Amino acid sequence: MVEVDPAFVQAPEHRPKSSIAAASGIPVIDLSPLLRSPIPSDLAGASPEAAAVVAEVAAACREWGFFQVVNHGVPIEAVERAAAAERAFFASAPEEKRRVRRSEANPLGYYESEHTKNVRDWKEVFDFVVPEPAETPKVFGGSLVLKNRWPQHPLGFREALEEYNKEVEKLAFKLLELIALSLNLPQKRLNGFFADQTSFIRLNHYPPCPYPDLALGVGRHKDAGALTILYQDAVGGLDVKRRSDGEWIRVKPIPNSFIINVGDIIQVWSNDRYESAEHRVSVNSEKDRFSIPFFFNPASYTNVKPLEELVDESNPAKYREYNWGEFFKTRKDSNFKKLEVENIQIYHFRNVV
Ligand SMILES: O=C(O)CCC(=O)C(=O)O
Ligand SMILES: [Fe+2]
């Protein structure tokens, strides 16, 4: 008999089905044209090859809010080193991990008790920011500190992850620029929001789970930031909710690719032209699974609202402005412990029409 810890048990309507359809139709975008020529400053000046990539990005963001990229320019060695560092860290002794454990004041480091929508996730994580801000931005309410906690072991952990961060950040800016072009905006229209970015990287380890039909690695959610760039290993378990019929489908791992999620901030900036996709992680009873999301987030002082160029009288702003730093802090608090209330969501800022 397996003993079931009720903290992990999902409500019946949110439990994964025993068999989940493998995704077909999730767009896979080949970014190799960008390895040959720079991203154009506007659509009018784009080569046919670059314009085709922008058109694919537009369709993927519109129809799925979710896609995969290949030939993305991130060196495979950087990914492999980060993935090896991740495995070695999670294999270390529990005391070792607890030494870098997250606290309520400083959300960075190791954590094994995260909740999504008040149900505990079957996972352990390690979070860090690069670069580390000299001072925690004031809008985080003054009570939050962003200070990395680097473990002593494994050797070279920090270096491998800083290198990975540097490479993935370059890809994040490329995607941001493609998304700007896809909304008919100048290439660099969104870059300014990221001057003092609050991006962070998370290492996710999902151990085998004795009751994979009751628990989830990460409960259903949408990513709150601008964009997520996700590495997943070959095990599989990431499910995305297909917009056309609301069915959960499994994202098949493609070697040397990244999964890109449109986050809530792009949904708001685009005034709902693009929509963030709901996703979750299913677990299995046999295999450990590892993933590494890079959450590309703007400066904490950013007031998020639909971009002026994308609203007019016939298409008024669908959201009221909200402050990213405050939003992030409120969300963190609710992930840290089980609360009686629902955590903060962008629909709380939706205008009633
Ligand atoms: O592990 C994954 O594949 C996805 C994790 C995720 O959605 C998250 O950490 O926000
Ligand atoms: Fe996510």
Q: What is the pLDDT of residue 223?
A: 95
Q: What is the pLDDT of residue 148?
A: 95
Q: Kindly give the distance from the C-alpha atom of residue 353 to the centroid of ligand 1, in angstroms, as a whole number.
A: 33
Judge whether residue 2 has pLDDT over 90. Answer: no
Q: Kindly give the distance from the C-alpha atom of residue 292 to the centroid of ligand 1, in angstroms, as a whole number.
A: 8
* Region of poorest pLDDT, from 222-231, 254-263, 337-346: 337-346
Q: What is the pLDDT of residue 240?
A: 94
Which residues form the pocket of ligand 1, taking CB atoms under 6 Å from any ligand atom? 202, 204, 218, 223, 230, 232, 238, 279, 281, 291, 293
Read off the pLDDT of each residue in 125-142 and give the average, rounded to a whole number. 77
Q: Which atom of ligand 1 is nearest to the CA of 123?
A: 1
Residues 108, 129: contact at Cβ < 8 Å?
yes
In the DSSP assignment, the letter for residue 212 is T
For domain 6-349, give the CATH superfamily: B-lactam Antibiotic, Isopenicillin N Synthase; Chain (2.60.120.330)
Q: SS in 3 state form for 259-271? A: EEEECHHHHHHCC
Residue boundaries of the structural domains of the chain: 6-349
Torsion angle of C-alpha atoms 45, 273, 297, 114, degrees rounded to 10: -150
Residues 230-280: tens digit of each pLDDT: 999 999 999 999 888 888 999 999 999 999 999 999 999 999 999 999 999
| Nearest Cα residue to 222 out of 256, 186, 265 | 265
Q: Kindly give the distance from the C-alpha atom of residue 293 to the centroid of ligand 1, in angstroms, as a whole number.
A: 6
Element (H, E) at 82: helix 76-90
Give me the amino acid identity at 312: D
Whether the complex's predicted ipTM is more than 0.90 is answered with yes
| Nearest Cα residue to 208 out of 267, 123, 151 | 123
| Residue from 116, 123, 228, 230 whose mutation best tests the ligand 1 pocket (most atoms within 8 A of CB) | 230
Burial environment of residue 301 by CB neighbours within 10 A (0 to 12, 13 to 18, 19 or more): middle
Share of residues in the chain with pLDDT > 90 (%): 75
pTM: 0.95
| Residue from 204, 232, 254 whose mutation best tests the ligand 1 pocket (most atoms within 8 A of CB) | 204
* Among protein residues, the one whose CA lies closest to atom 3 of ligand 1: 238
Q: What is the pLDDT of residue 342?
A: 64
* Among protein residues, the one whose CA lies closest to atom 1 of ligand 1: 291
Q: Kindly give the distance from the C-alpha atom of residue 47 to the centroid of ligand 1, in angstroms, as a whole number.
A: 35
**CA–CA dist 2, 205 (Å, integer):** 21
| Mean pLDDT score across all residues of the chain | 92
| Residues within 5 Å of ion ligand 2, judged at the Cβ atom | 223
Judge whether residue 335 has pLDDT over 80. Answer: no
Q: Which atom of ligand 1 is nearest to the CA of 261?
A: 7
Q: What is the pLDDT of residue 337?
A: 58
Residues 18, 213: contact at Cβ < 8 Å?
yes
CA distances from 14 to 132, 237, 238 (A): 37, 15, 15
**350 strand-pairing partners:** 319
Ligand with smallest separation from the Cα of 231: 1
Ligand with smallest separation from the Cα of 239: 1
**CA–CA dist 78, 81 (Å, integer):** 5
Give the count of beta carbons closer than 10 Å to the beta carbon of residue 167.
Answer: 18
**110 strand-pairing partners:** 101, 126
